[in-house]
A and B are shown apart, each in its own frame.
Chain A
Amino acid sequence: MDSKRTNRRKFLKGSAALAGLAAVRSASGQTPAPEAYIKGNPELIAYGQRSRFETAVRTSHGGRHSPDAFGLVMHVATPLQESVGVITPSSLHYVATTLGSYIPDIDPKEHRLMVHGMVDRPLTFTLQDLKRLPSVTRLHFVECAANRPSAKAKSIQDSHGMTSCAEWTGVLLSTLLKEAGVQGGASWIVAEGAEEVKGASSIPMAKAMEDCLVCYGMNGEAVRPQQGYPLRLLVPGFEGIFNVKWLRRIKAVDQYYMTYSDYGHLRREPEDAALGYQIGPKSVITFPSSGQQLPGKGFYEISGLAWSGGGAIRRVEVSTDGGRSWKDAEIRGTASRMAHTRFSLHWNWDGTETSLLSRCTDELGHVQPTRAQVAEFFKKPLDASFSVPGRDNTIQTWRVASDGSVHNAYA
């Protein structure tokens, strides 16, 4: 130990002697100039932060500014154009709140989750209780209903930024329901949050027992307050609002409860209703995407994300000629079920105007459609007024102009 310390001191002295040399080296760009080091401070040591040169930020979504004058948070979109890999950093994960709620500031020691209704043993769980139970850790995306390709979108953040993917850790909801003993005839659950308006959604019991998670962890630490601290329900593949934040209550019931959030989802047509809760196979190219600029012709790795509420992504194809021909993209890493999956394709741009598209296929064999295909399926004319029923998973086209600028082809 002592000798190690001595060696380190010697090394430091030696370094000081070499400082003059270091300054010379930095002039050649090999190491930063002496004044360009980040001095340690207690805050940075305790909880680090990204480089000041990294500027990707979330932005308000849907025409309502967050925060508003009262500090309410509405919808906030993820900068997918800057994304790498499949995990969205917790700081950049999209946010949506029920009717513009304040973010509850919950003391986890006081928080309880109640499981009751049509069960043999109503139970309340503390955070400590939940952390005693067998846990699972899974990658899952969460996507908001408002996430759809649009003529108004200036960037991928506008059109696709209301989806994010995190590593979620918690207890399977089925574990808690079995602990309480679900009674025969219980066909739905109502999941409720602890925020001001106590947002609640009806979820099919089959889904609750299949793969829903009661999460206390997100990306290796506690779930963030904007994501439901200290507890969030994850309903993998289902639209965002079902993923109840600040989870305080699960009630097993024998019918659809028609909560206010359920009412918000009501559709007149059965097709709209059927396509309204689970996300279909969906993909988008994140680079190059609208608002970005290619410096010139030559080699680029096209990169993007694919996901599906129906399971894992099996295949992603990319077209670099406006959809005339398609090439299989490479799936980077392992495609997890109901999770963002990174894909890429090598591309040599010849400098002429073209369009880039991606389409994916999930484990069920469902293929991401174009708007035209959906219109044809429903025998509706394809005009500006055509709205894709349910959750819109249609193909996004980016137009690359000959000057290298990239644009939303719908605009």
Chain B
Amino acid sequence: MGAFTMRMLRLLSLVLLLGGFALAQSPPYGVGSAPSEEELRAWDISISPTGKELPPGRGTPKEGEQLYVQKGCAGCHGAKGAGGLAPKLVKAEGKPDAHPWDLGRVLPFRAPYATTVWDFINRAMPLGREGTLTADEVYSLTAFLLNINGVIPEDAVMDRETLPKIKMPNRESWAPLPDWKPGMDRLEGYPY
């Protein structure tokens, strides 16, 4: 085989390889349309534990305390996060050595990540007026609720840098879901 033929074969295989690569990369059916950057930003309200999607803004417990009344939170959740019809937002009084898991199902205390608190207020509160709070207001309300649960001090400022760094009391003490695979036992050794 001449050197020219070899070069051609190599070129051909390169072309085939690239062609195959391009094929694997193209959508199988070509159905659906590409959202614009603005659409993606407007739709994507997920906040990960790393906080990478958090928007700019800031808030303090003091600002949150006022908003908690102004925005009507107190009406459903009670004056200081307890005593209302809606879920409690302040942990139960417990012994100083009580495990965080035993102080009630209280989102701004039991959640392993403060981002979950921010995310839920942002997407789901106040009831009937969801999505009307500004980023600053969500940071402030999150700060207030974390403060009344003893998670952050009164002078803490919450923003996209500080919020994901908060070490929630329950950060380490929850059981992650096992790695799901088809046909696996729900729990190793569990025959049921």
Contacts and interface: CB of A to CB of B under 8 A. Distances in A.
Given A258-B49, A266-B174, A373-B192, A274 B186 contact: yes
Interface residues of A, number: 72
A198 B191 contact: no
A205 B178 CA distance: 13
Q: Which of A192, A211, A266, A364 has the most CB of B within 10 A?
A: A266
A362 B79 CA distance: 51
Interface stretch (A10-18, A117-125, A218-226): A117-125
Given A249-B43, A257-B46, A369-B192, A179 B35 contact: no
B182 interface: yes
B46 A122 contact: no
A364 B192 contact: no
B175 A270 contact: yes
Contacts of B70: none
B187 A263 contact: no
Given A124-B32, A132-B31, A197-B124, A260 B119 contact: yes
B116 interface: yes
B159 to A, nearest CB: 20
A190 B46 contact: yes
B35 A114 contact: yes
Interface stretch (A277-285, A327-335, A398-406): A277-285
B27 interface: yes
A354 to B, nearest CB: 25
B33 interface: yes
Given A121-B27, A206-B182, A257 B32 contact: no
Contact of B192 (A132, A176, A257, A374): A374
Given A122-B35, A393-B192, A116 B130 contact: no
A257 B49 contact: yes
A119 to B, nearest CB: 10
A367 B127 CA distance: 44
Given A125-B31, A390-B186, A198 B180 contact: no
B128 interface: yes
Contacts of B130: 196-198
Q: Which of B33, B40, B45, B187 has the most CB of A within 10 A?
A: B187
A178 B26 CA distance: 9
A204 B179 contact: yes
A273 B178 contact: yes
Contact of B34 (A122, A259, A368): A122
A204 B48 contact: no
Contacts of A206: 179-182
B190 A129 contact: no
Contacts of B182: 206, 210-211
Interface in B22-47: 25, 27-29, 31-35, 39-40, 43-47
A367 B39 contact: no
A258 B116 contact: yes
A198 B46 CA distance: 10
A260 B174 contact: no
A124 B127 contact: no
Contact of A263 (B48, B101, B116, B123): B116
B162 interface: no
Nearest to A202: B177
Contacts of A257: 46-49
Contacts of A271: 187
A258 B112 contact: yes
A273 B175 contact: yes
A179 B25 CA distance: 9
B90 interface: no
B110 interface: yes
A309 B186 CA distance: 10
Given A116-B44, A260-B107, A129 B32 contact: yes
Contact of B45 (A178, A198, A210): A198
B96 interface: no
A140 interface: no
Interface string A43-76: 0000000000000000000000000000000000
Interface string B85-113: 00000000000000001000001001111
A213 interface: no
Contact of A366 (B50, B175, B178, B185): B185
A322 interface: no
Nearest to A134: B29
Contact of A258 (B32, B39, B113, B128): B113
8 contacts: A122-B35, A198-B124, A255-B49, A258-B113, A260-B107, A268-B101, A273-B176, A278-B186
Q: Which 10 A/B pairs are nearest by Cβ-Cβ distance? A: A123-B32, A273-B175, A197-B124, A204-B180, A369-B192, A274-B187, A270-B175, A260-B120, A198-B123, A125-B32
